[in-house]
Amino acid sequence: MNTKDDKQHSEQLVSNPAKLKQQQVEAEEMEVISPWKDTLKQLRKNRLAIAGFIIIAFFIVVGLVAPFLTPYTFSEQDPVNRLQSPNMDHWLGTDHLGRDIFTRIAHGARISLMVGFFAVTGALLFGTLFGIIAGYYGRWIDMLISRIFDILLAFPSILLAIAVVAILGASLQNALIAIAIINIPIFGRLVRSKVISLREEEFILAAKAQGMKSGRILRHHILPNSLAPIIVQGTLGFGTAILEAAALGFLGLGAQPPTPEWGKMLADSRDFIQLAPWTLIFPGVSIMLVVLGFNLIGDGLRDALDPKMKN
Amino acid sequence: MSDVILELNELHTHFFTDSGEVPAVDGVSFKLHKGEVVGVVGESGCGKSVTSLSVMQLVPNPPGRIVSGEVNFKGENIAVAREKRMKEIRGNEIAMIFQEPMTSLNPVYSIGNQLIEAVRMHKKVSKKEARNKAIEMLEIVGIPRPSEVVDEFPHQLSGGMRQRVMIAMAMSCDPEVLIADEPTTALDVTIQAQILDLMRNLNKEQDTAILLITHDLGVVAEMCDRVVVMYSGQVVEEGTVREILKDPKHPYTKGLIRSLPKLYEKEQKLYSIPGTVPKPSMDHVGCRFAPRCEFAWDRCVEENPDLYELGAERKARCFLYDEKEKVTEGGPQYDEADPRG
């Protein structure tokens, strides 16, 4: 601290030099914490969120190295060794066509995470865009967008997804599009309500009074301040999207054989539930674990990003 | 008097609500000279803030709209200026600071980031130059350790510090007019005095004209050269600070000053003007203050008085100062059936 600052400072607090000193000490102890670093710090303290991260990291790694994990391919059939219970050659057993379940689950992890990622990204981008437009501009455009959201939300989500897939044709890609579409209003409404409350904030008025353009206000002031709920919903939505993809796969409307999609694996094996329960248990547990992982992270993020939860 | 920099001329800003049209600003006229501090005083809801927002064309639309009148800024009527022109003016030539320093800064950006943005919005300078300017501005507004504070976030600063940052931000483009909408209302008294000192210094050193919106006559006495008193969307009195405080003309101003606690007089109960501020409405006839006025007579309920000139830039909106009344009646008349009941 240079002398000039010191002088200026002491002029304001000239009556109480002891207080001045104390203030300086406090100021030096205070380190600069950005909101994001603070969130990370909060998150690291949350054990459940860490558990979620470990689960997801495990499935990501398994998905990445899937081709090198086992000597089998996910579509390789071996009729002689079908419906084998877990053993040294087939860690998680084989299905009714003699395919190695562990290999298929590892490859399925790729598909599920990919579906989750693209469906959530799509829903998040479009939902945020529509939500911001509706919330910031209001009037008839808000009316229009909000009513479309209401209509989309009035359908049971899986029914809507089935309708979309029925129009586009059954494939993994179309299932992904369907899941993105049904999730758009969830993000859209969230962002809209956040934008409406932000719009009334004084710093937005202050930005306008500085001569800032609308686009810039949206990008620099509205969007960064609505990120927290978007991130939380995005993480939670990941789990939902994976679950919906599995449901569509189970109904035969998602990934087509021989793609090792977890929901499809469940559907294929349901006739053998008594004979070879492992053919259902392992894909089912995988779905459960991934969804649980994302939900744990989502909850952790929500707590970390909520200023009221801080102590 | 030096040249007029900002002149409001019969400005009408109305709000179009579901329950009808509300004339929040109802024919307001006053002038702001170069390097002058003018206070706009009045109770809550009298249209002070809407007047200041109208100058910047920042009245929320819908429901609000400037219906008629002029806002002349250096000879240009900016009440009808296009949005593009307004964006050049806002922040650059007319800057504004607000009541709530706690919420006037964006919580997700550092102080420096926001100051740099404010500078770069109107001036073509590099990021580094803008940063130096930001640190310089922080130093001018009396923030200790400016080179460190520049990287801190709003939540790390106190209310007074944040208001200083807001002032730094507003002054960073050397505006010619600063509109301060209750800049000290949310701060405690010691900080208030510091912020007022700071604004006074900026006014003297940079010759910035300040339009100070406030309801605090103490702040007015300390800061202003001239005062405009508003009541229910209209200007009711105008004059220099001395004239207004020593010799108020309008009964409302008289009431305001009477309701201040006095240092050397022992009073049992503080005076208050009876009644409440009427809601501005389109079909109001007569003087807005008549129902609460102790001097009101029948003419007051029938027609709205003009703003009578009492001298150079000294005006009052009251029939007590109408020449006609004085000539014919030899002074104001008290009516038995006045609306006070």
Which of A290, A191, A185 shows the shortest CA–CA distance to A240? Answer: A290
Which of A11, A32, A14, A28 shows the shortest CA–CA distance to B145? Answer: A28
Mean pLDDT of A189-197: 93
Token readout for B132 is 């130096």
Which of B246, B219, B217, B218 shows the shortest CA–CA distance to B229? Answer: B217
% of chain B beyond a pLDDT of 70: 94
Asked if residue B101 has a cis previous peptide bond (ω within 30° of 0), the answer is no
- Residue B224: CB partners within 8 Å, gap ≥ 6? B37, B38, B39, B212, B241
Tell me: the pLDDT tens digits for B129-168? Answer: 889 888 988 888 888 888 888 888 888 888 888 888 888 8
Handedness of CA A4, B151, A13, A20 (dihedral sign): negative
Round to whole Å and give the CA distance between B155 and B161. Answer: 11
The whole-number pLDDT of residue A310 equals 53
Query: Does the structure's ipTM exceed the value 0.90?
Result: no
Cβ pair B103:A202 closer than 8 A: yes
Domain residue limits at A192: 42-309
Round to whole Å and give the CA distance between A113 and A294. Answer: 11
Residue A212 lies in a domain: yes
The whole-number pLDDT of residue A8 equals 46
Sheet of B94-97: strand order equals B94-97, B177-181, B209-214, B37-41, B226-231, B234-240, B314-316, B308-311
Per-residue pLDDT of chain B (341 residues; tens, 9 = 90+): 458 889 998 899 998 888 888 888 888 888 899 889 999 998 887 888 889 899 988 888 778 888 888 889 888 888 888 888 888 888 888 999 888 877 888 888 888 888 888 888 888 888 888 898 889 888 888 888 888 888 888 888 888 888 888 888 888 888 889 999 888 887 788 888 888 888 888 888 888 899 999 888 888 888 899 999 998 888 989 999 988 888 888 888 888 888 887 777 776 777 888 887 777 777 778 888 888 888 888 888 888 888 888 887 888 888 888 777 655 444 455 544 444 43
A30 → chain B, closest CA residue: B156
Phi, psi of B98 (to 5 degrees): -115, 175
Round to whole Å and give the CA distance between A47 and B250. Answer: 69
Token readout for B305 is 């008085």
Domains in chain A, number: 1
The whole-number pLDDT of residue A17 equals 46
Residue A30 lies in a domain: no
CB B51 within 8 A of CB B39: no
Tell me which chain A residues have a C-beta less than 8 angstroms from the C-beta of B172.
none
Tell me which chain B residues have a C-beta less than 8 angstroms from the C-beta of A139.
62
A64 touches chain B (CB under 8 A): no
CB B186 within 8 A of CB B100: yes
The whole-number pLDDT of residue B325 equals 66
Residue A6 lies in a domain: no
Tokens 């000879």: give the residue: B75
Residue A16 lies in a domain: no
Element at B96 (helix H, strand E): strand B94-97
Residue A18 lies in a domain: no
CA distance B136 to chain A (A): 12
Residue A12 lies in a domain: no
A17 touches chain B (CB under 8 A): no
CB B201 within 8 A of CB B194: no
Cβ pair B107:A210 closer than 8 A: no
Interface test with B, best of A39, A203, A213, A306 (most B CBs within 10 A): A203
HSE (side-chain half, CA atoms, 13 Å) at A294: 25
Taking the CB of residue A219, how many other CB atoms lie within 10 A of it? 12
> What single-letter amino acid sits at A123?
A
A8, A211, A220 member nearest B144 (Cβ)? A8
Going by the DSSP 8-state scheme, the letter that residue A221 receives in this structure is: I
- CA A44 from chain center: how many Å? 18
> Is a pLDDT exceeding 50 seen at residue A11?
no
A31 → chain B, closest CA residue: B152
Say if strands B37-41 and B209-214 run parallel, antiparallel, or are unpaired.
parallel
Tell me which chain A residues have a C-beta less than 8 angstroms from the C-beta of B109.
220, 224
Mean pLDDT of A13-20: 45
A5 → chain B, closest CA residue: B144
% of chain B beyond a pLDDT of 90: 6
Residue A1 lies in a domain: no
For residue A65, give the CATH number of its domain: 1.10.3720.10
Residue A28 lies in a domain: no
B29 touches chain A (CB under 8 A): no
Round to whole Å and give the CA distance between B235 and B229. Answer: 6
CB B199 within 8 A of CB B183: yes
